[in-house]
A = this chain, B = another copy of it.
Amino acid sequence: MLLAERHQLILEQLNIHGRITSVDLAKLLAVSEDTIRRDLNKLGELKLLRRVHGGALVLQEDTPDYFDRLNSPDPSKKRFIQPALAMLEAGQTIVIDSGETCRYLAQNLPANLPLTVVTGCPLIVQDLMQHPQVQVIQLGGRMFKPAMRTTGSSAIEMLKQIRFDLVFMGICAFHVKHGFCVNYFEEAEVLRATIEQADRTILMGPHDKLDKTMTYQIVPAQKIHHIITDQGVRADIQASIEELGIELEIVPNK
């Protein structure tokens, strides 16, 4: 086995499990622990993983606090919302999840389009209160500060009583094998309940999120119907996504 090949396999394993120990890798790849340690140190230097005592962890993409992001909104995320807007029809009941891209979507709903919008994010509720034609349903529950959204059984109970035509969510991490993931158990529960009630689930986000995993799987990949992303998706990933029957829509990079 070649070194580069081994590095590739290590990163793959890491992507799958989120964590990996030197001992396990040594056994799996049938090399000495020293070799594995050298590999991990090298990959750590290259910022491809987070080297820790005993093994390695996936790089925690720093999710800055929501309020930090509020102060520095990223207008480049607006490009994802045009295809989303094109799917809307009068009278639909839709979910707009929390997150920056979702908020752009909420803020740009056509003024003459009557919709029922369900959301657990108070910022989006507030944005939509200005809208003349939209009826807003606020999801109840305990507010989960890191994601600026409601979670818990109250939210889930409420979701179970509604059926949605469309659900729009941002992509935290998506992977063909390991599905749609987030980093918080509580968040995953609510998102799963939301998708369960949806005729069609649409994810929006940059292409580099399409080969990522995080700790908690929300749903397997095939439960997603539509992904809106930008240019740069690896050809093999694009192929396997489309093989699952997911519609992949690519917008120009700005």
Contacts and interface: CB of A to CB of B under 8 A. Distances in A.
Q: How many copies does the complex hold?
A: 2
Interface of A: 2-5, 8, 12, 15-16, 19, 21, 50, 52-55, 57, 60, 62, 65-67, 120, 122-123, 125-126, 128-130, 135-146, 148, 150, 154-155, 158, 161, 183-184, 186
A141 B137 contact: yes
Contact of A3 (B16, B50, B54, B125): B54
Contacts of A19: 2, 5
Main DSSP-derived SS at the A contact region: mixed
A161 B144 CA distance: 19
A148 B138 CA distance: 11
Contact of A138 (B3, B53, B66, B150): B150
A124 B203 CA distance: 29
Contacts of A144: 16
A132 to B, nearest CB: 10
A140 B154 contact: yes
